[in-house]
Amino acid sequence: MEWESILAESVRDGKIRELHLRKLPLLKSTTNWNKVELIGWIDHQFKYTHYKGALVKLNNKLFFVQEGIIKALQEFLNWKHSKQIIVTKD
C-alpha cells in the first residue's frame, strides 16, 4: 500500500520520474469512464518502449491509459485537456 500512495503523489509541477511512470498500472477498462479524471498527456520514448497516452486518476489512484484506448473512447469522453506531463530521468 505504501507504493500506491507514492505513485498517487508522483506527479508534481507537471513532471513525473521515469521510474514512477514505469510502475504505474495500465487502466484498460472500468465500469464508469466518467469518473476517470484526466491529469495530462504523456509522450515519452524509453529505450525499448514508447509511452504515448494519458495519466489519469481514478479513486485517488494514478493510472496510465494507452493512446489506443483513448482513441476508442474519444466519442464518449470529453477530454479537452492540453497539459503535457514532462518525464524526467531518474
| Domain map (residue ranges) of the chain | 2-88
Q: pTM to 2 decimals?
A: 0.85
pLDDT, tens digit, 9 for 90 and up, residues 3-23: 566 666 677 778 888 888 888
At 23 the pLDDT is: 86
At 27 the pLDDT is: 92
pLDDT, tens digit, 9 for 90 and up, residues 42-70: 999 988 989 999 999 888 888 999 999 98
**Could you give the CA distance from residue 39 to residue 41 in angstroms, rounded to a whole number?**
7
For CA atoms 67, 68, 72, 73, the dihedral sign is negative
